[in-house]
Amino acid sequence: MSFSPKGNLIAGQWCDGPRTFTSSPALGSSYEFSAGSAELVDRAAQAAEQAFQPYAHCSRQQRATFLEAIAEEIDMRGTEITAIGSQESGLPTARLEGERARTNGQLRLFASYIRKGDYLDRRHDEALPERKPLPRPDLRLIQRPIGPIAVFGASNFPLAFSVGGGDTASALAAGCPVVVKGHDAHPGTGELVADAIAAAAKRCGIHPGVFSYIHGGSRDIGTTLVRHPLIKAVGFTGSLSGGRALFDLCAARPEPIPFFGELGAVNPMFLLPEATKNRGDELGRGWAASLTMGVGQFCTNPGIAVALQDHATSVADAARQALSGVAQQIMLTHGIAQAYHARVDQIKTTKGVHEVMSSNSEAQNAAPNLFVVSGTDFLANPALSEEVFGPTGILVTASNPDEMLEIARNLEGQLAITLHLDNADTELARRLMPILERKAGRVLANNFPTGVEVSDAMVHGGPYPASTNFGATSVGTMAIRRFLRPVCFQGVPEALLPDDLRGSVHHCCIGKHRMMPGG
Ligand code: NAP
């Protein structure tokens, strides 16, 4: 199937930038894409600002219909998206089709979520004119959209965490226009999804400025976007270094804005003694499968497993055997493969690290590796706790339960932490739980962290460096909160209130708060 690049999409129009860049697909031919520019960023941000008021004030029903139309338009381009997507990312067809279903599932989930309206968290403190010593005014609170949002597409999920992915879906659901800075690893996939979103906006009569898509081609496109005064928040998935640089830029703006970055994690698993004794083989095989899923390029990849020394052998043996059967596979980009190879070399030469299983991989490929290190050496080398983006695991052998707890206490923030336990492990698990809860956005028992459910109760975030905002999630319906802010309307006549606040709303907190003079 042939593919023709279209350019940058600014408010429904395809535009050329002043330069071009050549794509570097994992497989197949490269194409010449129009690069972004500061002028295009400004046009996109201005158009988003123009779209903001009509879009923020349209009905939830209209926004939900728009989200569903995006899903339909993406499906209408499904064959082309899979074709160019698998060339650009090297991901297999089945994975991309599954990811498209997930992307459209997210869009539809947000549509049904906003129709229900619970996310508005409407509150009403009725006026108490007779209250002594001071009367209470009528107070109504509602969550309102915050303005144009910049989204950085992620390399590792060209659909579900990219142009029409979770950040875009949740921002559009909230009532915020979106400007996407595409990832250079999948510019063609990005263009097709952008085209689908523009077609849906047109079909639904939504202001075209609600969505723009700008290619990269150089670093300053992203920095210009986050610095643009009309941008009010940023959604990002990617590296710790890139995320941190953009986070710092957001904080240094004359008007600082929130940066919702989902950065690195090693997602440790604690394998408790009874569980390893009873089913060490099964745990080792399960770990190997989770570790190699998607060539290890998942943010929830369980890069570290911690077991007690006396019980670690069966896990290591089973994992080694399973990993030995995994062939090298192509990674998403040449840069990601290079970073993987360098990181593996660094681990190999770290004091106290021993190879359980090591394999060679060249060029853009990655093969699995498994290392073992004692708890003492692990604690002495903080670099071993850093993310390896690829199929490499480190088994940490703790000399006793107290050392296991010490390892848990020394962890940085994680997206997910897993406990594997049997009944007789409950006592040790009870000691671990309060520590783990402080370290991760999601704590799992007897499961593997790869595979993130898109639902109401999911949290895909966590303390830094897992994310830059531990109060937020980038997956699941709660992701919408990132792009909303509470506004209180005090004594404002009904006719002037946002539609969603008119009429009866939930009554809560009535009488609980007292206004102090000057408060
Ligand atoms: P990345 O290098 O962080 O890039 C992500 C996006 O941010 C790209 O659009 C990139 O633009 C932009 N960017 C990065 N640094 C920037 C800076 N200093 N200023 C302005 N823009 C910047 O991530 P990646 O390319 O997806 O993968 C590289 C590494 O990130 C991987 O090896 C892996 O370690 C990590 N990663 C982690 C996750 C996760 O889920 N935690 C996901 C993907 C990748 P340019 O294209 O212009 O550089």
At 171 the pLDDT is 98
CATH of the domain at 407: 3.40.309.10
Is there a single domain that holds both residue 238 and residue 275?
no
In angstroms, the Cα distances linking 492 to 121, 127, 140, 489 are 18, 12, 9, 6
Q: Would you say residue 517 lies in a domain?
A: no
Residue 99 Cβ < 6 Å to ligand 1:
no
Give the span between the Cα atoms of 263 and 238, in whole angstroms.
5
Write the residue with the smallest CA distance to atom 18 of ligand 1: 242
- In this prediction, residue 503 carries a pLDDT of 77
Quick one: which atom of ligand 1 is closest to the CA of 182? 9
- How far, CA to CA in Å, does 486 sit from each of 119, 121, 163, 358? 11, 9, 27, 53
Question: Coil, strand, or helix at residue 82?
Answer: helix
Please name the residue whose Cα sits nearest to atom 40 of ligand 1: 299
Residues linked to residue 329 through DSSP beta bridges, in sequence order:
366
For β-strands 365-366 and 20-22, DSSP reports them as unpaired
Domain limits for position 221: 8-21+31-120+145-263+467-491
Instruction: Decide if 133 is inside a domain.
Output: no
Considering the domain boundaries, does residue 104 fall inside one?
yes
Q: Residue 384: what pLDDT?
A: 97
The pLDDT assigned to 513 comes to 37
Which phi-psi region, left, alpha or beta, contains residue 352 (left: φ > 0; alpha: ψ -120 to 50)? Answer: left
C-beta of 336 in contact with ligand 1 (< 6 A) = yes
How much is the pLDDT for 217? 86
For all residues of the chain together, what is the average pLDDT? 95
43 located within any domain: yes
Nearest CA to ligand 1 atom 39: 299
Do 480 and 400 share a structural domain? Answer: no
Q: Which residues pair with 303 in a beta bridge?
A: none
Residues 338 and 194 grouped into a single domain:
no
Q: Is 498 in the pocket of ligand 1 (CB under 6 A)?
A: no
Model's pTM, two decimal places? 0.95
Q: Is residue 198 part of a domain?
A: yes
Does 319 map to a domain?
Answer: yes
Same-domain status, 241 and 286 = no
* Domain at 107, CATH number: 3.40.605.10
Ligand 1 contacts CB of residue 465 (under 6 A):
no
Q: Does any domain span residue 134? A: no
Total domains in the fold of the chain? 2
155 Cα: distance to centroid of ligand 1 (angstroms): 7
pLDDT value for 32: 97
CA distances from 350 to 98, 372, 381, 412 (A): 38, 11, 8, 19
Find the radius of gyration of the CA atoms of the chain.
25
Kindly give the number of the ligand 1 atom that is closest to the alpha carbon of 243: 3
- List the strands of the sheet with 123-125, edge to edge: 123-125, 139-145, 484-490
254/317 same-domain check = no
Residue 291 CB neighbours (<10 A): 27
Whose C-alpha lies nearest to ligand 1, atom 15?
242
Residue 462 Cα to ligand 1 midpoint, Å, equals 19
Give yes or no: residues 386 and 482 share one domain.
no
- What is the pLDDT, as a whole number, of residue 265? 95
Judge if 51 and 155 occupy the same domain.
yes
Distance CA 36, CA 183 (A): 11
One domain for residues 339 and 250: no
Whether residues 369 and 338 share a domain: the answer is yes
Q: 58, 299, 387, 403: which one is catalytic?
A: 299
Decide: 449 and 435 in contact? Cβ < 8 Å.
no
Residues of the chain short of pLDDT 50, as ranges, are: 506-519
515 in a structural domain = no
Q: Are residues 299 and 194 in the same domain?
A: no
Among residues 411, 445, 479, which one ends one of the domains? 445
Query: What is the model's pLDDT at position 28?
Result: 85
Q: Are 180 and 197 in contact (CB under 8 A)?
A: no
The confidence score (pLDDT) of residue 361 equals 83
Q: What is the pLDDT of residue 505?
A: 59
Residue 501 near ligand 1, beta carbon < 6 Å: no
For residues 98 and 192, state if they share a domain. Answer: yes
152 C-beta closer than 6 A to ligand 1: yes
Question: Any catalytic annotation for residue 32?
Answer: no
Substitution site in 239, 343, 452 for ligand 1 pocket (most atoms within 8 Å of beta carbon): 239
- The residue annotated as part of the active site, out of 49, 68, 262, 403, is 262
Q: Is 299 a catalytic residue?
A: yes
204 shares a domain with 74: yes
- Name every residue whose Cβ is closer than 8 Å to that of residue 248 and which is 6 or more positions away in sequence: none
In the reported structure, the alpha carbon of residue 245 is separated from the centroid of ligand 1 by a whole-number distance in angstroms of: 10
